[in-house]
Structure 1
Amino acid sequence: MEGNHKADRGCTSNSGKLRELWRSIWGIQCQNRVKHFLWRACKNILPTNYNLKLRKVAIEDKCALCGKSESSGHILWGCKFVVDVWKETRLKLPRFQNLQHDFINVVWRLRDVRSEQDWDCFATTAWCLWKNRNSVKFKGRCKESKAIAREAENLVEEFLFKELNSCGIGVVIKNDEGQIMGAMSKKLDQPLGALEVEAKAVEEGVLLAKDLGLRHIIIEGDALTVMAALSGHTSPPSSIQHIIAGAQLWASSFSAWKSTHVRRNCNQAAHLMARNAKSIFECIIWVEDTPLLLSFKLHLK
């Protein structure tokens, strides 16, 4: 293991490539603490159990999630649990046959095979993985893989719109055959929280369905708190109470309606429309047409 470790680090010896990498890291559009974390991970100075054992601070170097040696490459990329988290993201990352001891080598290889990667989401997901690792180690609490992936995506979206002092919502309406009947990207000139944004998206979706003349609707969303409140199973938090009440009132005007919670990866189209809102002036609506970004990103026909 030690011999392989030294061999792997040889690929980082080019000082020009390193300077380019550091510039890329500090240029990522995410929170400063995330950029600082990624820099530390690539410098291999995170207090992983492997590093702590090398410094004779710890006796064991086992990963708290799987029991294997916890290097930076392991806890941020190679651990079985971590692999599941990356699969839950929208990144569609390649998997490498050889295990990467140092995380910087993962970054090098990704830059080589997929330089146009969404590095904002990649860096934030790695930070969320490290935060979960600390929670497991020091508190004995571990989040589900999909919850970690979603937390990262929410943080990226919130940061992008916070820079603009706004937020974005996305709506996609399909018929029972899965064909798109309408879509919306809308920018709201107020920095709402993630829960409020999800609730506003439901309300706007109901209003768009009404404008399209639909009579029977099924409202889908991946925010469990919002969908449970909309269906009446739970009371809504005070921050979204009036939004939920408004959505329920509009929904009652349909001949029939119901709401259902779906996984985030089943709701990617709406999230793409929400992210698109940061680049528009106010609101764009598509009727009986497929937005180009959905055609390209989701390969819809």
Structure 2
Amino acid sequence: MWYWHGDIAGEYSVKSGYWQIVGNYVQTTGMFDKWPKLWKLRVPPRWKTFLWRALNNILPTTTNLIIKRVEISPACAMCGIMHENVMHSLVECDYTRNIWAQSRLPIPSTITDIFHVWFNDILNILDDDEIIYAVGLLYYIWRARNGAVWDAYLPRPQKIIATVTTAIRAWQIAHPDRLKQQRAPRGLATVIPEQHQGAALQPAAVLPTPLAAASVRKRCYFVAAFFQATSKAAVGAIFLDGQGSYITALQAPLIDCFSPLMAEAIACKEVLSWLWDRGERSVDILTDCLSLQQYLSQPKETPRSYLGYAIDTCRNRMVSFDYVSVNYVPRSDNCLAHILATSAFNYSAPMYSDSGPPYPISAYFQ
């Protein structure tokens, strides 16, 4: 009689045939096999998604794009010399080597040109905290590579390292062990859980990312932090010139608010008044609150409430500027303002940092 090898009953099924083929393929090709450890890492989900793409060699490197018949130069955008594959862009490029050297991680010299083999060795060498640090470096190295491709801009290695350190700290503060987080709705103020009030007022922002590198006009990133249990609110804002260099920052407590959106509107009103008092007449305002941005940039009926009053006040102030626009940015691009806002609850009066960046974000500008 016919007998299917691999099944206890000796009966063939499509599922058993599939796993027979896939299992043999994985075993013979030596693919990455430590996925459970990767998925359990306490890092942002986007880091895991990026790493999954890198380990499966599906990042849009020049080598992969050429295989897809995209007409593009094979040279690496960071060094301009070598052909770019995943291993080169994340590990072997001269710019990347500099970052790894300054990270002080005990990473041995590369003996392979296959990324998943290199990363598998890293998992065997580093402890859990060092693995999280390495994953953060890989993610922001890739972001820097994309900046080199699209904006012809590369941050200094020290800035990459400072960004990763801040990102890990912020993620761990925002996602403490055994603590249920009260997550803010998309596009609203940073809602801080009641358990974090008092002594735990630490920066609870999400992933910090490098600010966009180019705009002729000065720009101001702002956000409101909001304690839902006590209705307390605060604003954080950072003002940059057209090249992304630091000018000044604002941290201030706000009046009690009824909702995250109201906190964002009051924060916008304070920021516009602050910029006007500084003599600024042409500026881009950037917020991660999509609802507020739509109220201020599109014809939209204003609610007949305290929220509507705050929005109308913002509109009236905007008319007095020579030029002002309110633009939406992802929360990950507004991380510095989040850090300032969550630390502003410690102040009883507005704090202006004209002489240099405030301590919570000073490492980013070193």
TM-score (norm 1): 0.51
| Pick aligned residue for 1:287 from 322, 330, 354 | 354
Larger Rg: 2
**CA displacement at 1:288 relative to structure 2:** 5.3
Q: Note closer, same or farther for the CA distance 1:242–1:290 as it changes in structure 2 (3 Å cut).
A: same
8 Å contact 1:180–1:288 — kept in the other structure?
Answer: no
Pairing 1:174–2:240 present: yes
Of residues 238, 252, 255, the one that matches 1:186 is 252
Structure 2 Cα separation of the partners of residues 246 and 181 of structure 1: 26
After TM superposition, list the pairs within 5 Å mapping 1:248-263 onto structure 2. 248-263=315-330
One-letter amino acid of the structure 1 residue matched with residue 174 of structure 2: C
Partner of 2:289: 223
Aligned partner of 2:191: which letter? N
Percent identity between the aligned chains?
19
Label 1:243 to 1:165 Cα distance change in 2 as closer, same or farther (>3 A).
closer
CA gap of 1:254–1:282, structure 2 versus 1, over 3 A, is same
Q: Judging changes above 3 Å, is the alpha-carbon distance between structure 1 residues 206 and 124 closer, same or farther for their aligned structure 2 residues?
A: farther
Structure 1 counterpart of 2:279: 213
Report SS of the residue matched to 1:177. Answer: coil
Matches within 5 A, 1:20-31: none
Deviation of 1:156 (Å)? 4.0
Question: What does residue range 24-173 of structure 1 map to in structure 2 within 5 Å?
Answer: 77=39, 83-84=45-46, 109=128, 119-123=172-176, 154-156=191-193, 160=197, 161=227, 166-173=232-239
Aligned alpha-carbon RMSD (Å): 4.3
Deviation at 1:270, TM superposition (A): 1.2
Runs of 5+ in structure 1 lacking a partner? 1-72, 89-95, 99-107, 132-145
Q: 1:244 aligns with which of 308, 311, 323?
A: 311
Answer whether contact 2:254 2:267 (CA < 8 A) is retained.
no
Letter in 2 for 1:263: P
SS in 2 for 1:282: coil
Question: What TM-score do the two structures reach when normalised by structure 2?
Answer: 0.43
Letter in 1 for 2:254: L
Return the offset for 1:195. 1.1
Q: How many residues align?
A: 192
Indicate the structure with greater helix content.
1
The structural deviation recorded for 1:273 is 1.1
Q: What is the rounded CA distance, in whole Å, between the counterparts of 1:295 and 1:220 in structure 2?
A: 20
SS in 2 for 1:154: strand
On the 8 A contact 1:169/1:277 being kept in 2, the answer is yes
- For each residue in 1:78-126, what CA deviation from the matched residue of structure 2 results, as whole angstroms up to 9, or x when unmatched? 59xx8338789xxxxxxx969xxxxxxxxx9459978967545114999
Aligned-pair CA distance for 1:153: 5.4
Q: Is the 2:289–2:328 Cα contact (8 Å) retained in structure 1? A: yes
> 2: CA distance between counterparts of 1:221 and 1:125?
31
Q: Which consecutive residues of structure 2, in runs of 5 or more, have no partner in the other structure?
A: 1-34, 51-118, 122-126, 134-167, 198-226
In structure 2, distance between residues paired with 1:87 and 1:279 = 36
